[in-house]
Amino acid sequence: MKYPKSIITLLVFTLLFTSLLFMGCPLPPPPPEALIGKWAAVGYSSGVAVITFNADGTLVVKEIEKERRGIYEVAFSKDPAWLDIIMEPIGQEQRGEYIIKFNNYNEIIIAGGHGIPRPVSFGNYYMTFQRLAE
């Protein structure tokens, strides 16, 4: 039986589109406001528990027994995106250079640290954070 070209074209397009969905297309860069909110560390019993990114460029890092404040800048135009954090007291020695990636709207991964060069990829050393409901 011979099928019309329009049906074959539709079938090919459907198969291609479906395969792209299951292969996991990379997410487009998020808008800057996508980071705003509270993010909880996943699977860590000590250290950072919650990071709050505020719209004014400030952040609060709540650890188990203490809370620290600072400022941040994010450059989603970089690949991977850069996240710079400067903790109080504000100064160069308090600067951390990180990379950040959205796995989806509610989950990010962050790699890097204070006093070390910014990583160029995530490798095996990163922290996962999930968005907390407001």
Q: What pLDDT digit, counting tens, does each position of 32-60 carry?
A: 788 999 999 987 655 568 999 999 999 99
pLDDT value at 92 more than 70: no
pLDDT at 116: 87
Q: What is the pLDDT of residues 102-126, one digit of tens each?
A: 999 899 999 998 888 999 999 888 9
Q: What pLDDT, on the 0 to 100 scale, is given for residue 20?
A: 46
Greater confidence (91 vs 124) lies with 124
Domains, in order of start, for the chain: 31-131 (2.40.128.640)
Of 1-10, 22-31, 41-50, 61-70, give the lowest mean pLDDT range. 1-10
Query: Does residue 4 surpass a pLDDT of 80?
Result: no
Query: 128 burial class (0-12, 13-18, 19+ CB within 10 angstroms)?
Result: middle
Strongest mean pLDDT among 3-12, 21-30, 62-71:
62-71
Give the model's confidence band at 133: pLDDT under 50 very low, under 70 low, under 90 confident, else very high: confident
User: Measured between alpha carbons, how far is 23 from 26 in angstroms, rounded to an integer?
Assistant: 9
**pLDDT reading at 90 higher than 90:** no
List the Cα angle 61/76/127 in 5-degree steps.
Answer: 40
Residues 84 and 97: beta-carbon distance below 8 Å: yes
Mean pLDDT of the chain: 80
Q: What is the DSSP letter of 8?
A: H
Confidence (pLDDT) at 48: 67
